[in-house]
Amino acid sequence: MKKVLYWIVGIAIVIQFIRPDFKNPKVDNTLTLNTNIEVMSVLKNSCYDCHSNETKKPWYHNVAPLSWMMSGHIKSGRQALNFSKWQSIDTQIKLKQLKRAKQLIKNEMMPKGEYLLMHENAVLDEEKKMILEEFFDAQIKKLSHT
Ligand code: HEC
């Protein structure tokens, strides 16, 4: 029994040496999403850690295996949708992402549940959901006419 414990502790220590790189890519201010403070504050609070180049690292970002999970989320999150590059995204793709974002929020699939466990203030209440939905709708309307 003791041997098993040693192994567990040993592995827990060894995995700490595999550290993902959490350095944020540069933010080009001419490409970022810019809209009113209300919308920006909801997005920054609930989406930006995975969908922008302005990720805020929590205290456990250096603790494996949490760090690996986080790094994976950030990587695929940015790939799927990056508000720091908003102005450079093709209109058709933006429209698709906006429509998808509406659905995901409605079905409580974004922000991701694992993330919300550690980021209570990122939970979207009804008011915040409304703010985002109205913003996404307005953007969809605007982009559909261009
Ligand atoms: C903890 C990280 C995290 C947070 C926070 C987060 N997302 Fe995501 N999001 C992801 C990941 C990872 C993906 C890639 C697909 C997947 O794994 O589900 C994704 C995918 C998406 C997509 C693309 C889906 C598709 O089908 O292409 C949209 C749109 C999206 N997220 C919107 C949001 C919005 C809006 C918020 C804030 C309300 C948000 N996300 C918060 C991690 C996150």
Cα of 115 vs centre of ligand 1, distance in Å, is: 11
pLDDT for the residue 88: 97
User: Is residue 139 pLDDT above 90, yes or no?
Assistant: yes
Residue identifier of the C-alpha nearest atom 10 of ligand 1 = 77
Q: Identify the domain containing residue 132 by its residue range.
A: 2-144
Determine the Cα–Cα distance for residues 61 and 78; give it in Å rounded to an integer: 17
Task: Indicate the number of domains in the chain.
Answer: 1
pLDDT for the residue 58: 92
Determine the Cα–Cα distance for residues 116 and 46; give it in Å rounded to an integer: 9
Give the residues surrounding ligand 1 with Cβ less than 6 Å away: 46-47, 49-51, 73, 76-77, 80-81, 97, 100-101, 104-105, 110-112, 115
Stretch 106-124: mean pLDDT: 96
Q: What atom of ligand 1 comes closest to residue 73's alpha carbon?
A: 12
- The predicted-structure confidence for 31-64, as pLDDT tens digits, reads as follows 999 999 999 999 999 999 999 999 999 999 999 9
User: Is residue 75 pLDDT above 80, yes or no?
Assistant: yes
Determine the Cα–Cα distance for residues 57 and 71; give it in Å rounded to an integer: 10
Length of the chain: 146
Backbone Cα Rg of the chain = 18
